Amino acid sequence: MKPATTTAPNPLVLVVDDDADIRDALSSLFRSIGYDVKVFPSAADVLTASLPETPSCLVLDVRLPGVSGLDFQTQLSRSGINIPVIFMTGYGDIPMTVRGMKAGAVDFLAKPFRDQEMLDAVSTALEKDRERRALDGVASALRSNHDTLTPREREVMALVTKGLMNKQIAGELGLSEITVKIHRGNVMRKMNARSLADLVRMAEALAGR
Amino acid sequence: MTVEATDKTYLADPLDDRRWSRWIPYVAALLATALFVFDTLSPMQFAIAVLYVVVIMMIASTCGRREVIVAAIACVVLTVTSYVVVHGFHFEDSAWVRSMMSLSAIAITTVLALRNLSTVKVAQERARLLDLSHDAIFVHDLSGNITYWNRGAEQLYGWSSDEAAGQQPRELIRTVFPMSHEAIIAEIHQTGRWEGELIQTTRDGRRLTVSSRWALQRDDQDRPLAILETNTDVTEQKRADAELRRSERRYRNIFDAAGVSIWEQDYSGIKKAIDALRRDGVLDARGYLEQRPDEIARLKALVRTMDVNDATVELFGAKDRSELLGPISTVVGADGDAGFVEVIDALFRGETTTSSEAVLHTLAGDNISVLFNMRLASEPEVMNSVLISMTDITERHRFQEALDRANSELAHAARVATLGELTASIAHEVNQPLAAIVTNGEACVRWLSRQEPDLGEIRANLDRIIANGNRAAEVIARLRAMAKKTDPRYEPLSLNEVAEQAAALVDRELGIHGAQLTVDLANPSPEITGDRVQLQQVVLNLLLNAAQAMNGQPRDTRLIALRTIDGQDGPMIEVSDTGPGLPPEIASRIFEPFFTTKANGMGMGLSICRSIAAAHGGELTTVEKSEPGSTFRLILRNRQ
């Protein structure tokens, strides 16, 4: 719905369906509002394809020959690919919907669907992917900062973010209070933290991974 | 000479006379010499020369015409010589008169003897002719004694004419008369002839039946003289006649009493028509006629029913035979043409028998199905008597039809049940093109509402809409065919098409079961005759069974192979899976009704499939193969 800006790369919709007619129809629909589209007859073909680093989502038939759509979803998340998934089904049943939604599907559309439903679902999924990508950007900066810390500095950071005083940390680690202060200063600098609260949030984000 | 004497002469056996008759001319010559001497030397005043008459008669009795004339001249010469020697040339006294009397007597006797000779000759020839006859001819006089017995009689009865002469025929050959002997005699005296059959016995005791003709012989004064009996042996002919009559009666009895309907028909007109067809170069009468209903009608009109039996009258609801005689169009209508063509075809090929089925009309207007047997009864070269026997199989047909209908209904029920199992995949099959149509349509609208509508995209969308609409219609048509309840329709089919269409119906369902189907088709496709829907039903069942058999095993080992093969035993379809296979105790029962290995199965599928195969003249079996899994094979007949 939201026409992509010409400067940024177009969002990409990946369509997986064993039915060529459905693939072609969806491709045309998505292109008509300016998305890029890649179509695949099976899940295996998606895994071997090289995908650009651009907001994208996967529109997937739940019944696919070979690996089913649901199995494929599990496979993707297991291999750490967090692309949002929209399921289509010709004959949607409750257990499948539940499983798919639990596994984090953005939406579950029964064929035939209204184009608006599909486009809304895709738009939501793309937005989600964009956020995820942004989040992924922050998280990876945080992680690389964290990677620059020395082992001692990491210990200090962990204890600081637990809310311990410098004195307590010194006692815990068998260091002088001065040394702890230096480490703490390094941590704040290396992690680019503006305040203790900032650092605590970073620690939480790191732990959440 | 009297007629009686003539008769006696020809009746006497010439063989008896021969011994002494040879000497008669010499005796006559001697007598003539003695008379001459006596006439010349004797002083008696007596016409001694008259006795020359005896000489002439003796010669006449044994010799021919010429000898008689010679003897007569000799006698005249001797008489004249005697006169001249005794009296010189004096011709006035009584001696001259006596001499003239003697000469007159000689002349008269000669004339009479000559006339008699010719009569005797005729009589003898007549007697020889009678001997030539094959008939037994004999004469008995009025007292019943045999006076003549020809060679035919000797041969027939075994007695020679000597033995028969003087015997009474009633005793000798023990004649048995059809009426009293007196009546016969009375009739013959009245009319001069009698004819009838007699029973007589030969010398060796054989009893003969003879056809006898009696004629009464009369003398000049019309007095009865003797009876000429001419007998022809008809014993053998009588026996043959009786045998023929008995045989005819027997066949007539069989014909009338037979429980099956029998028609005797005249096909001689057909024979001519067939010859004409041959002359025109027709090689295949059936093929020729099947294209030409008019010709069939023309040929039908050439057949005449000559006779039918009681069973026929009853079967065809006729009041009597006559209603069924003549043209056969009363019972052979257009639906009887096929049977009629069978008969013509058999006759055309020179066969003398054939059997087939036909539908005929009764006079009451009902249709009956008959099994008929055609046989050329006599003179196959003219075909004037063709026997056609018929058994009414209408009831059997009705029964068979009811059975077929029940089978077809059962097959239909099973099909519908199978379709029920396929609901999920069927819904998908229909939904898929619908989804494509909707999405294409919506995309189309979006392309249209862009500032610069993209006509290429719009066109592609519309094309896809049309294609998907057709696709949905095809799915519906396939389903409707499967769900429809119709009588089996046997038509020429491509076996590959049957296999492919069945596979298309269950392809998605197989996918749901995680089974992978490979289709391997014979090239060229075997041609068969069959009911498309029922054959698809068999293939569909086999495919679903295969998929279900492999449910428990890893996905990548669930393989189904569908093959069409133009085999030696006929065209066939094989369905193999890579499942656990069939243990022998299950394989032996798998086609039994209500036998099932499925928790919610009814156990009718394979049983119905097998009866469908049987209805197609084919067979559904399991095949032992070395590789794991089971294989089912449907063998069909070749298209005729």
Q: Is the model's pLDDT at A59 over the cut of 50?
A: yes
* B460 in A contact zone (CB under 8 Å): yes
Which chain A residues are closer than 8 Å to B446 by Cβ?
29, 32-33, 115
Given pLDDT bands bounded at 50, 70 and 90, which one contains residue B599?
low
**Cross-chain residue pair A21–B511, CB shorter than 8 Å:** no
Whether residues A98 and A157 share a domain: the answer is no
Residues contacting A160, CB < 8 A, separation 6+: A169, A184, A187, A196, A199
Q: Cis peptide before A112, with omega less than 30 degrees from 0?
A: yes
If asked whether residues A117 and A18 sit together in one domain, one would say yes
pLDDT (0 to 100) of residue B11: 44
C-alpha pair distances (Å), A17 with each of A55, A146, B105, B438: 21, 42, 156, 16
Assign a CATH topology to domain B133-238: Beta-Lactamase (3.30.450)
- B238 pLDDT band, cuts 50/70/90, is confident
Same domain, A125 and A157: no
User: Residue B600 — very low, low, confident or very high, per pLDDT cuts 50/70/90?
Assistant: low
Determine the distance from the C-alpha atom of residue B110 to the mean position of all C-alpha atoms in its chain, rounded to a whole number: 74
The string of pLDDT tens digits covering residues A31-46 is 998 999 999 988 888 8
Question: Same structural domain for residues A186 and A109?
Answer: no
Q: Which CATH architecture has domain B255-390?
A: 2-Layer Sandwich (3.30)
pLDDT tens digit sequence for A130-182: 888 888 777 788 888 888 889 999 889 889 888 888 999 999 888 898 999 99
pLDDT for residue B486: 79
Is 50 exceeded by the pLDDT of residue B606? yes
Question: Helices (H) and strands (E) in chain B — how many of each?
Answer: 23, 18
Domain range for residue A65? 12-137
Q: Hey, where are the domains in chain B?
A: 3-130, 133-238, 255-390, 393-487, 489-640
In this predicted structure, the answer to whether residue A92 has a pLDDT above a threshold of 60 is: no
| pLDDT bracket for residue B12 (50, 70, 90) | very low
State whether A133 and A80 are in the same domain.
yes
A104 and A180, same domain (yes or no): no
Chain B residue at shortest CA distance from A19: B432
* A113 lies in the same domain as A21: yes
Asked whether the beta carbons of residue B428 and residue A91 sit closer than 8 angstroms, the reply is: yes
Residue A21: closest C-alpha in chain B: B436
Kindly report which listed range (A102-106, B300-304, B494-498, B593-597) carries the lowest average pLDDT score. Answer: B593-597
pLDDT value at B3 more than 60 = no
More reliable by pLDDT, B213 or A206: B213
Residue B506 to chain A, least CA–CA distance (Å) = 14
Instruction: Express each pLDDT in B432-483 by its tens digit.
Output: 899 999 999 999 999 999 888 889 999 999 999 999 999 999 888 888 888 8
The answer to the question of residue A68 being in a domain is yes
The string of pLDDT tens digits covering residues B106-150 is: 888 889 888 887 877 777 777 778 888 888 898 888 888 888 888
Per-residue pLDDT tens for B287-309? 888 888 888 889 888 899 999 98
Q: Given B428, B444, B454, which is nearest A90 (Cβ)?
A: B428
**Nearest by CB to B512, which of A21, A63, A66?**
A63
Q: Do B438 and A112 touch (CB under 8 A)?
A: yes
Average pLDDT, chain B: 84
The Cα B359–Cα B340 span in angstroms is 10
Chain B residue closest in CA terms to A30: B443
Report the pLDDT averaged over residues A192-197.
87
Confirm or reject contact between B426 and chain A (CB < 8 A).
no
Question: Which of A5-19, A51-65, B229-243 has the lowest average pLDDT?
Answer: A5-19
On chain B, the residues whose CB falls within 8 A of the CB of A115 are 438-439, 442-443, 446
Cβ contacts of B557 on chain A, cutoff 8 Å = none
DSSP letters, B426-466, are: HHHHHHHHHHHHHHHHHHHHHHHTSSS--HHHHHHHHHHHH
Please report whether residue A4 resides in a domain.
Answer: no
Two tokens, residue A207: 């732990």
**CATH topology identical between B393-487 and B489-640:** no
Q: What is the mean pLDDT of residues B26-51?
A: 81
DSSP A67: S
Q: What is the ipTM of this complex?
A: 0.71
A174 shares its domain with A201: yes
Among all residues of chain B, which has the CA nearest to that of A63? Answer: B512
Which DSSP string corresponds to B12-53?
S-HHHHHHHHTTHHHHHHHHHHHHHHHHHH----S-GGGGHH
B435 and A65: CB-CB below 8 Å? no
Band (A94; pLDDT cuts 50, 70, 90): low
Strands B516-520 and B559-567, by their bridges, are parallel
Per-residue exposure over A163-177, b if at least 16 CB sit within 10 Å of its own CB, e if not:
ebebeebbeeeebee
Comparing C-alpha atoms, which of B489, B495, B538 is closest to residue B637?
B495
In a domain, A127, yes or no: yes
SS3 B201: strand
Band (A23; pLDDT cuts 50, 70, 90): very high
- The CATH number of residue A157's host domain is 1.10.10.10
Yes or no, beta carbons of B440 and A112 under 8 Å apart? no
Please state the domain count of chain A: 2
pLDDT of residue A5: 45
Residue B229, pLDDT > 50, answer yes
Q: Are B482 and B533 in contact (CB under 8 A)?
A: yes
B8 pLDDT band, cuts 50/70/90, is very low
Cis preceding linkage at B524, omega within 30: yes
pLDDT at A98 over 80: no
Same domain, A131 and A154: no
Whether residues A156 and A74 fall in one domain = no
Q: Indicate the average pLDDT of chain A.
A: 84
**Interface contact flag, A22 B467, Cβ < 8 Å:** no
| B interface test, pick of A13, A23, A26, A32 with most B CB neighbours within 10 Å | A32
- The CATH code belonging to domain B393-487 is 1.10.287
Contacting residues of B for A25, CB less than 8 Å apart: 435-436, 439-440, 443, 461, 464
Nearest to B443 among A19, A28, A65 (CB): A28
Which of the pair, B125 or B501, is modelled with greater confidence? B501
Mean pLDDT for the stretch of residues B480-494: 84
Given a cut of 70, is residue B13 above it in pLDDT? Answer: no
* Yes or no, beta carbons of B435 and A32 under 8 Å apart: no
A105 and A171 part of one domain: no
Nearest CA in chain B to A64: B511
Least confident of A112-116, B74-78, B113-117, B281-285: B113-117
The fold of the B489-640 domain, in CATH, is: Heat Shock Protein 90 (3.30.565)
pLDDT score of B19 more than 80: no
Task: For residue A112, give the nearest of B434, B447, B512 by CB distance.
Answer: B434
User: Residue A111: its chain B contacts at CB < 8 A?
Assistant: 431-432, 434-435
Contacts of A42 in chain B (CB under 8 A): none
Q: Which of A115, A137, A159 marks a domain boundary?
A: A137
Q: Are residues A25 and B447, on separate chains, in Cβ contact within 8 Å?
A: no
Identify the residue with better confidence: B66 or B444. Answer: B444
CB contact under 8 A, B431 and A112: yes
User: What distance in Å separates residue B574's CA from the closest CA in chain A?
Assistant: 24
Q: Are B362 and B317 in contact (CB under 8 A)?
A: yes
Q: Does B432 sit within 8 Å of A90, measured CB to CB?
A: yes
DSSP letter, residue B521: -
Of B424, B446, B464, the CB nearest to A21: B464
Size of interface A-B (CB pairs under 8 A): 82
Residue B9: pLDDT above 70? no
Q: CB-based contact (8 Å) between B458 and chain A?
A: no
Find tokens 């990946």 and name the residue: A14
Could you tell me if A118 and A177 lie in one domain? no
Considering only the beta carbons, identify the residue of A21, A28, A115 that sits closest to B468. Answer: A21
Roughly what angle, to the nearest 10 degrees, separates helices A166-173 and A151-161? 130
Residue A126: give its domain's CATH number: 3.40.50.2300
Q: What number of other Cβ atoms are within 10 A of residue B328's Cβ? A: 20
